[in-house]
């Protein structure tokens, strides 16, 4: 489904639901800023896009095939961007990455996505609000959209960060062996988030350092801002990964220590029991001449010596810290 | 065996099976695009190539010696490329890499390979189909060929990725100790795939950023597309490697945990048995004065105290989570 | 709360507590250097800043939202910097990072912070002291401020370094298993410190290598000095991280060795006890024809053979270094 | 000992064993290509070199002191190279690296080495063979020499690679614990090989990318070829290192698994024996009232219950996979 | 204490112990090369330096504060360098790094150090020796000094390398568990050495590649030589670090293997003892009807069956390689 918005940048009026067939007409007038939002695109939609905007068939191809890597590509007359919106869904905080394809031309913006993108609503709202205070070309619209997507990563990383504090408590506080599976799951999430962000950071870095800036001078500062947020998100992800590696290491060490502690204790107890058993074994021997056997308190003596040996061993093992 | 195709780029007609001796004649006409496909080359084939195309003896040498690294080299008048086509063969999904040497000149393309290359059929088919819609020089033909090879890596990586999900299930779900050997095998596959792709990615990166682009302007966007796919494949491989490293780490931790669990339990059971054995040992002593011996229910009392001590120990070990 | 200082760079007089509303007037005179220190800023303060200094709304936005990453951004007419002052607070040496936002213009400096920053007092004091000996534009004031912040990291790293020597003693000297948690905490501190310093180092590196230096020639050498200190701090942090990784590795090895030692000993003792128990078991058998049973010194003989076997085993295990 | 060859590049004749004192005379004629091979050099040889070729005393110094790092240095009028020829000697495949110093001037080449270098014979042979087909300046001679050295690394790496397949078999097939020492030895070899190759790769990379190529245009393609081989060797070494790291990891995991398996089994057997011992202990108690004692088949009953308990435990442990 | 040497580069005469106050006079004459060596500097010495040489107060500041990082800084008219001389002192080969500050001007050199620097004597000696053969400006003097310091690292690294061979012998040959602490100590030494060398290497790299070389043409080749030695030292350190990491890994593996071996053996022995004990326990039961009890050779039979079971178990465990 294609929804077309058209802003007359002089009268500052936005006409909604323009017919698709008018697009090529509308975008001829440099005063207009055209935004075509294509959700759940069909083959016919792609054909309409190719016709109205004259896109290169390779970029249409990339649009059709999902699971592109995040990127910014330069075609003659427009840029083609692939971004991913991220959110945690369900009770298990499963990570969902929703692909958004953007065609950014001089005075038009085309967004293509097969799943609903929250940032589109946000950008649409801010677009109307910002109409007065700034020059509102297609570049600014793209900024609002990309910024909304990138900024959404930060609260998500905060949730992951809090989850990691819990993991840490589980390791140094109330021990749970299953922590390992949770660490693994967080690691995977961070890996996917990193894949969705770092290529964009690197591309924006290249684009912004170019001799001839691709974005007009007024919007340059806005894309600098997006770049700054991209770095921040990428830095946060890297820090979380570093922390997770440390947490994993701590888990392994603490796990090893706990196990060692338990084995030392169990083996110590075995040793104590065996020494008592040895005494019992000695007085169970069938020699005819064993003086203790006939003592009045031989039995009590034997029991006491068992207790005595056990206590002595216990004290010794405690002292050398094996128990 | 050398098969020669010749396209007249004006009439858009492809003549198949041209005689090898005509090549130097055909490629003199700039309207022609000549494709010579050399499969299972003999010494005579190499001599014919050197003669008809006037290739530098170093590049012919590289062609003769198999197991070159993937590369793009610039000779005066042509480029020499080495690529690897990958596929998984047999029931065990053994990785097979088949070498393809390409000589790319202004209006000719020479492909040399000792094993059958699937991408050649694909490129041949697409070549005829694309004849109408684009300028079809040797560059475009090279694009079709390289793109077919690079794109073939993606489904292969998907298979490996699915295999890794299985490994993960084996670790956190139904445990199998042999997982370690499978992880090792996947690691080797990824290592070989990386070796086949990353050098190409780096070379294309350099080639595309040059001041004077080596490919004519119209085909530049196509090679940009190949480069994009190379990055995507390389990124996928790196992600899989990262995931595999995490999987390995998880395997080791879970393996350690399982072992610890078992040893704790076995040692706990030993301790319980030993405490019962101690009681049996005590009542096996031969003291003349042991009141319990003569009790009516001494035996039952002893058995019960064994059971009691065992249960108490069991409860305690359970509580401190050692069992 | 906004406090405004104004230096007349000709008369070298500093007027304190100038009214906020005069700022735009004061900074018009190039002889004046204006310093506005905004602590615990309110919405009204931000509006005053935007009005008096004509800052871009994106930089004001960054100022409002805490937890920016450390950075230097160039806006038309001024630079916007984010830095973090670090200190260890409380008995547990908890790391505290306090954000400081700086706007650096041609002849003005604005500092914004929601928590008290020690370096501001230091910079204020040095400012008056340096009045005579150097050209004291806004750049020099910024230098004094940034240098005070960066230099404060060094004693802090010394404290961490001393703490690491203690950890090392705990590993190779008087063993404590809890060292692992302390190592983890130091690791986190170093991670946060690195995040606060390395982005600045990288930005300063870029700024100082530019063709047109952003700082006037006289102050360039001062910012070179700040950069040198940033490298030194960053190098120190990296060295400490390397050391900590080695310490961790040493901890794991020594921990493993200690545990192995203990398990070897406990198991050795078990073996010795079991061999004695076996002898007791043998003489506890009920065979009618056991010659030793009737010996006069059979009992003593049995006890002596137990001791003998135990001693022999002990000597053997000692010799092969298992005990 | 100095052996001097002189090629007249017009008549294509090589005069062997020219007197050392004539060198400065010979090299004045640009038609001549002079090759002085200095084996096992004495102080007098070095003085002769310095005099006849006018080498800078720093490069002579480097020649005298063995164990230089591989490098290419530019002096006025000539290049000074240090390379290492590698081979595996003896039954244990000990790695031997033999240093070769090369002075490469416009029309002369000086090779200095204290141990015999195989590549010198190879280069000498090829030199005569190539006389006809190419322009044969000193650059080409240097190419033949360096190429012979670099190409010799490949079969050596193949031997190491085969050795690693054996290691792998030892890990997943017929286990040998000593594999660890062999892995360590291979690691050391790869480390030394890498040290001998990667600095050269990096230097050639810089030399070949220079604006003014240091080698004349015709020989440039040859040095490109050497560079390609250097990359290939370096890539192979890196791949082998990666593989070795994986092998090591696999060794540790498999070793751990095997040990765990054995400990689980031994402890399981202990537990089974202990449960039988407990039953024996019970019937060894001396209670007067133990009904089983007087049963006709009490003894058989006891033995059977021991076997029964042992079998039940065995079945259970087998089921939960602890045995 | 300040010692001033002055060389008249025409007469090639060195006057020693010139008065400090004459320095500014002496260095005005471009024929003179002035070397001021300041050992154990006082505040007055620093003031004298600042006055006579007109140094920037920031470089004087760096000189005063010890523990600077190694660096080369450019001030107007001179360079400021910080280097560290290294040596191993005492029986324990403790690493000592002694700081040396150098001011290098057009025709003067100032060395500042609080501890005695051996390289100063070496440089002083070589200075007089080289007087005849080369142009001996301040640059060459700096070369002699820096080269003496850098070259001193190599024998030191040889000592560390030999120590590492010993460590290796301790791991694969005669085992010592304490090796771990020694590895840790070597690691720390290498870390400190790396910190002292790598920043210099990086700075020299930048300085030598500059468009306008900072050192005059004749001395450029000398600084190239210093740079070469810096790379060599840095490469050696990196190789040693790599080797140490491998050694550590080998230590851990061998340590694990040894421990496993011991535990397997001890547990196997336990199992053998327990099976014998079980037989003793069986014949210790009190059943009235036990036929073996009354056999003439029952006792011998029991002992023999114990030995038999033990031998059978021993043979089995030996066969499956658990003992």
First to last CA, chain B: 71
Q: What is the pLDDT of residue D75?
A: 85
Query: How distant is the Cα of C6 from the closest Cα of chain E, in angstroms?
Result: 27
Check if C75 contacts E (Cβ < 8 Å).
Answer: no
Strand stretches in chain B, DSSP E: 2-8, 13-15, 32-39, 71-75, 78-89, 94-105, 108-113
Chain B residues inside the 8 Å CB shell of D274: 270, 273-274, 277
D56, D188, D277: which to substitute to probe chain E, counting the most E Cβ within 10 Å?
D277
pLDDT digits (tens, 9 = 90+) for C46-100: 999 888 898 988 889 888 888 888 988 888 888 899 999 999 998 888 999 999 9
Q: Are B113 and B38 in contact (CB under 8 A)?
A: yes
Q: What residues form DSSP beta bridges with D104?
A: D79, D109
What's the rounded Cα separation, in Å, for the pair D81 and D71? 6
What percent of chain D is modeled with pLDDT above 70?
95
Predicted confidence at residue E39, as pLDDT, reads 92
CB of A255 less than 8 A from some CB of B: yes
- Mutation to test the B interface, candidates A73, A167, A177, A199, most B Cβ within 10 Å: A177
CB atoms within 10 A of CB C269: 23
Whole-Å CA distances, C209 to C202, C204, C205, D132: 11, 8, 6, 53
Of E225, E268, E271, the CB nearest to D273: E271
At D121 the pLDDT is: 92
Q: What is the DSSP letter of E152?
A: T
**Residue in C304, C305, C282 with CA at minimum distance from that of residue C293:** C282
Residue B200: enclosing H or E segment and its boundaries? helix B179-209
pLDDT in tens, D56-105: 888 898 888 888 889 988 888 888 999 999 999 988 889 999 999 999 98
Count of other CB atoms within 10 angstroms of residue A29? 13
Q: Report strand pairing: C78-89 vs C71-75.
A: antiparallel
Q: CA angle C236-C241-C242, nearest 5°?
A: 100
**At D13, is the pLDDT very low, low, confident or very high (cuts 50, 70, 90)?**
confident
Residue E66: name the closest of C224, C244, C232 by CA: C232
Residues forming beta bridges with residue A112, ordered by sequence position: A38, A101
What residues of D are in contact with residue B195 (Cβ under 8 Å)?
235, 239
Can you give the pLDDT at residue B177? 78
A window 188-217, beta carbon within 8 A of B = 188, 191, 195, 199
d(CA C258, CA A320): 12
* Mean pLDDT calculated for residue range B3-32: 86
Helix (H), strand (E) at residue D112: strand D108-113
Residue B27's pLDDT is 86
Q: How far is CA B65 from the centre of its chain?
A: 24
Residues of D in contact with B292 (CB under 8 A): 287
> What pTM, to 2 d.p., does this model score?
0.87
DSSP for A273-300, please give it: HHHHHHHHHHTT---S--HHHHSTTHHH
Among residues A97, A114, A105, A107, the alpha carbon closest in space to that of A63 is found at A114
As a dihedral over the C-alpha atoms of residue A252, residue A255, residue A257, residue A262, rounded to 10 degrees, the angle is -160
Indicate the residue of E69, E259, E280 with minimum beta-carbon distance to C231: E69
Look at residue B311 in the predicted model and tell me its pLDDT.
Answer: 94
Minimal C-alpha gap between C167 and chain E (Å): 13
Q: Which residue of C has its CA nearest to E189?
A: C243
Distance CA A297, CA A316 (A): 28
Which range, of A133-147, C76-90, D102-116, D203-217, averages the lowest pLDDT? D203-217
Whole-Å CA distances, B157 to B87, B192, B240:
10, 12, 8
State how far the Cα of A249 lies from the Cα of A247, in Å rounded to an integer: 5
| Chains contacting chain B through 3 or more C-beta pairs under 8 A | A, D
Q: How far is CA A116 from the centre of its chain?
A: 20
Under the banding of pLDDT at 50, 70 and 90, the label for residue D235 is: very high
Give A215's pLDDT tier (boundaries 50, 70, 90).
low
Is A286 within 8 Å of C281 when comparing Cβ atoms? no
Chosen for mutation from E278, E306, E313 (greatest number of chain D CBs closer than 10 Å) is E278
**pLDDT beyond 60 at B213:** no
Residues comprising chain A, all counted: 323
Tell me the HSE value of C10 on the side-chain side, using a 13 A CA sphere: 4
Return the biggest CA–CA distance within chain C.
121
Residues in B touching A299 (Cβ below 8 Å): 285, 287, 289-290
Cα C56 to its chain centre, rounded Å, is: 34
Quote the tokens at residue C271. Answer: 């073996």
Q: List the D108-113 sheet strands across, edge first.
A: D13-15, D2-8, D32-39, D108-113, D94-105, D78-89, D71-75
Q: In chain B, what residues touch A255 (CB-CB under 8 Å)? A: 253, 256-257, 260
pLDDT at residue B280 above 70?
Answer: yes
- Chains D & E: contacts with CB separation below 8 Å: 116
Rounded to the nearest angstrom, the minimum Cα separation between B179 and chain D is 10
pLDDT at residue C290 greater than cutoff 90: no
- Over residues D260-288, the mean pLDDT reads 89
Tallying the residues shown for chain B, one arrives at: 323
Percent of chain C with pLDDT over 90: 44
Say if C246 is an interface residue toward chain E (CB within 8 Å). yes
Is the pLDDT score of C132 beyond 80?
no
Residue of A283, A287, A289 to mutate when probing chain C, most C C-beta within 10 A: A287
What's the mean per-residue pLDDT of chain D? 88
Q: What is the pLDDT of residues C189-230, one digit of tens each?
A: 999 999 999 988 888 887 777 666 556 667 778 888 889 999
Q: φ, ψ for residue D15 (rounded to 5)?
A: -95, 130
- The reported pLDDT for the residue numbered A251 is 92
Q: Which residue would you say has higher pLDDT here, B97 or E214?
A: B97
Rounded Cα–Cα distance for residues D278 and B280 (Å)? 7
Q: B186 or C90, which is more confident?
A: B186
d(CA A209, nearest CA chain C) in Å: 12
Structure tokens that stand for A2 in this block: 């294609």
pLDDT exceeds cutoff 60 at A213: no
**Reduced 3-state DSSP string for B81-127:** EEEEEEEEECCCCEEEEEEEEEEEECCEEEEEECCCCHHHHHHHHHH
The reported pLDDT for the residue numbered E127 is 84
Q: Are E150 and E237 a contacting pair, CB within 8 Å?
A: no
Q: Which distant-in-sequence residues (6+ apart) come within 8 Å of C260 by Cβ? A: E255, E259
pLDDT-derived band at D260, boundaries 50, 70, 90: confident
Task: Give DSSP secondary structure letters for C113-127.
Answer: ESS--HHHHHHHHHH
pLDDT, position D275 = 92
- Of B242, B263, B281, Cβ closest to residue A280: B281
DSSP code for E33: E
Give the count of Cβ contacts less than 8 A between chain A and B. 115
Which chain D residues contact residue E290 at CB under 8 A?
A: 299
Average pLDDT over residues A246-261: 90
Q: Which of D101, D181, D199 to mutate to test the interface with E (most CBs of E within 10 A)?
A: D181
DSSP C42-96: -HHHHHHHHHHH---HHHHHHHHSS-PPSEEEEETTEEEEEEEEEEEETTTTEEE
Choose among A265, A269, A302: nearest Cβ to B285. Answer: A302
Residue A322 has pLDDT above 80, yes or no: no
Q: Does C126 touch chain E (CB under 8 A)?
A: no
**pLDDT higher than threshold 90 for residue B131:** no
- Give the residue from C156, B284, E248 showing the smallest Cα distance to D293: B284
Interface list for E 130-189 with C (CB within 8 A): 177, 180-181, 184, 187-188
For residue D138, is pLDDT > 70? yes
Q: Does E220 contact chain C (CB < 8 Å)?
A: no
Q: Strands E71-75 and E78-89, how do they pair?
A: antiparallel
How, if at all, do strands B13-15 and B2-8 pair?
antiparallel
| Rounded Cα distance, C211 and C23, in Å | 32
Give CA separation, C251 vs A78, A234, A253, in Å.
57, 32, 9
Highest mean pLDDT among A77-81, B223-227, E9-13, E82-86: E82-86
**Under an 8 A CB cutoff, do E274 and C270 touch?**
no
Q: Minimal Cα–Cα distance from C288 to chain E, Å?
A: 6
Of all residues in chain B, what percent carry a pLDDT higher than 90?
44
Measure in Å the smallest separation between the Cα of B286 and chain D Cα atoms: 7
DSSP assignment, residue C134?
Answer: S
Chain D contact for E275 (CB, 8 A cutoff): yes
- Residue of chain C nearest A323, judged by CA positions: C262
pLDDT at residue C240 in the model: 94
User: Which of B134, B273, B287 to substitute to test the interface with A, most A CBs within 10 Å?
Assistant: B287
- Cite the DSSP H helix spans in chain E: 23-26, 43-53, 57-64, 118-130, 138-151, 153-172, 179-209, 217-282, 291-294, 298-319
What are the chain C neighbours of E191 within 8 Å (beta carbons)?
Answer: 239, 242-243, 246
Q: How far is A274 from B20, CA to CA, in rounded Å?
A: 91
Residue E103 is encoded by which pair of tokens? 């001011």
| Ramachandran area for residue B67 (φ above 0: left; ψ -120 to 50: alpha; else beta) | left
Tell whether the model's pLDDT for residue D213 goes beyond 60. Answer: no
Local confidence pLDDT in tens for the 323 residues of chain E: 899 998 887 888 888 888 888 888 888 888 888 999 999 999 999 999 888 898 988 889 888 888 888 988 888 888 899 999 999 998 888 999 999 999 998 889 999 999 999 999 999 888 888 766 666 678 888 888 999 999 999 999 999 999 999 999 999 888 887 889 999 999 999 999 999 999 988 888 877 776 665 566 677 788 888 899 999 999 999 999 999 999 999 999 998 888 888 888 888 999 999 999 999 999 988 888 888 888 888 888 889 999 999 999 999 988 887 77
Contact D249 B248 (CB under 8 A): yes
- For residue A217, pLDDT over 80 is answered with no
* pLDDT confidence tier of residue C158, bands split at 50, 70 and 90: very high
Asked if B103 and B34 touch (Cβ cutoff 8 Å), the reply is: no
The pLDDT of residue A240: 94
Q: Looking at the predicted structure, is the pLDDT value of residue A244 above 80?
A: yes
């Amino acid at each position: 489904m294609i929804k077309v918005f058209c802003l007359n940048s002089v009268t500052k009026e936005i006409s909604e639901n323009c017919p698709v067939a008018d697009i090529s007409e509308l975008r001829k007038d440099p005063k207009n800023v055209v935004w075509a939002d294509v959700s759940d695109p069909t083959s016919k939609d792609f054909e309409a896009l190719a016709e109205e905007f004259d896109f290169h068939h390779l970029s249409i191809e990339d649009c059709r095939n999902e699971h592109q890597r995040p990127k910014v590509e330069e075609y003659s007359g427009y840029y083609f961007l692939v971004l991913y919106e991220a959110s945690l869904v369900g009770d298990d905080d499963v990570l969902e990455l929703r692909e958004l394809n953007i065609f950014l031309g001089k005075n038009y913006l085309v967004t293509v996505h097969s799943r609903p993108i929250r940032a589109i609503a946000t950008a649409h709202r801010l677009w109307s609000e910002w109409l007065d205070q700034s020059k509102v070309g297609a570049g600014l619209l793209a900024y609002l959209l990309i910024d909304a997507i990138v900024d959404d990563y930060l609260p998500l990383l905060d949730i992951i960060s809090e989850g990691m504090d819990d993991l840490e408590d589980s390791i140094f506080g109330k021990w749970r062996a299953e922590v390992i599976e949770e660490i693994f799951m967080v690691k995977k999430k961070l890996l996917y988030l990193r894949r969705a962000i770092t290529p964009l950071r690197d591309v924006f870095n290249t684009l912004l350092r170019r001799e001839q800036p691709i974005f007009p001078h007024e919007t340059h500062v806005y894309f600098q801002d997006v770049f700054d947020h991209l770095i921040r998100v990428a830095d946060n992800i890297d820090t979380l990964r570093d922390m997770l590696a440390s947490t994993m290491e701590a888990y392994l060490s603490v796990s090893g220590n706990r196990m060692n502690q338990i084995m030392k204790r169990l083996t110590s107890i075995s040793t104590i029991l065996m020494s008592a058993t040895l005494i019992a074994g000695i007085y169970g021997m069938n020699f005819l001449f064993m003086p203790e056997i006939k003592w009045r308190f031989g039995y009590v003596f034997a029991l006491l010596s068992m207790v005595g040996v056990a206590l002595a061993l216990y004290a010794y093992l405690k002292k050398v810290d094996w128990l």
